[in-house]
Amino acid sequence: MVYTSRSARHGALLVGTVAVLGLLTACGNGQDVHGNPPITASGTAAPATGDSKSPASPPSAPAATPSDSASASAPRTTGSAGGGGTTATAAASTRCHTSELRAAVGRNDPGAGQENFPVVLTNRSGRTCTLHGYPGAAFVNASGTQIGPDPRREPGSPTTITLRPGQSAWAGLTFSNPGISGARTATPAALLITPPDERDALKAAWTDGAVPVSGSSSSVFLSVLSPGTAP
């Protein structure tokens, strides 16, 4: 048996203790004793407990201001062709539709060789609606065939007309007296009238005789809509 002195045994014990403490310290620091880096695994962390402070919440996005929302959603509608502008006051949902209107041709008001008729659109629905621009129009015979070209539009500045139930708007239909102008004529049975921005037409009986359909001074003109039933 090999004899080991007491001091030698004490030294060996001290060295072993230091080695164990070093190993524990390395583990406590999250380091692999073999020199490999720690592995990070994905997953959901459990909520912190004790005195640990929870991480600060991310800043919230700034709220939209009323002006931003209005500019993004405000609705805009374009006036009928030839109107020369866009109006933001009349949304498409407020427009008068053909089914909500009644059409009529008013009494002739001749002057200076001209025949002048008010074409009247009346709101027959139970809601308030709007008209903006020019109506469409075409003369037709008894079988529904169009007579002559479409009326031309007189220059004008369209405005949005608000019609409560029972209220009306009118546009002027004018042409030169055929007896004076010498234009070729035909006698229509009705005038088809299409409200602005609509596709379906209303029919109004025509009882005022011949209208010009071709030749010199045969053009028929239609003015922009105005409130009321006549000038």
Least confident window among 70-84, 129-143, 150-164: 70-84
**Does position 67 have pLDDT exceeding 60, yes or no?**
no
Name every residue whose Cβ is closer than 8 Å to that of residue 75 and which is 6 or more positions away in sequence. Answer: 88, 91, 92
pTM metric for this prediction: 0.61
Least confident window among 74-78, 96-100, 108-112, 164-168: 74-78
Provide the pLDDT confidence category of residue 183 given band limits of 50, 70 and 90.
very high
**Does position 74 have pLDDT exceeding 50, yes or no?**
no
59: in domain: no
16: in domain: no
Least confident window among 5-9, 50-54, 71-75, 103-107: 71-75
101: in domain: yes
CATH number of domain containing 215:
2.60.40
Phi, psi of 177 (to 5 degrees): -60, 120
Across the range 161-188, mean pLDDT stands at 95
158: in domain: yes
Pairing of strands 160-163, 190-194: unpaired
Name every residue whose Cβ is closer than 8 Å to that of residue 104 and which is 6 or more positions away in sequence. Answer: 119, 120, 122, 204
Using DSSP's 3-state secondary structure scheme, residue 66 falls into: helix
Across the range 158-184, mean pLDDT stands at 95
Percent of the chain with pLDDT over 90: 56
What is the pLDDT at residue 216? Answer: 77
| Residue 220 belongs to domain spanning | 91-227
Q: Which residue has the higher pLDDT, 122 or 93?
A: 122
Closest C-alpha to 137, from 172, 113, 102, 166: 172
Number of domains in the chain: 1
165: in domain: yes
**Does position 150 have pLDDT exceeding 70, yes or no?**
yes
pLDDT digits 0-9 by tens, 80-120: 534 433 444 445 679 999 999 999 999 999 998 999 999 99
Phi, psi of 99 (to 5 degrees): -65, -15
Query: Are the CB atoms for 228 and 159 separated by under 8 Å?
Result: no
How far apart CA 102 and CA 99 sit, in angstroms, is 8
How far apart CA 217 and CA 212 sit, in angstroms, is 8
199: in domain: yes
77: in domain: no
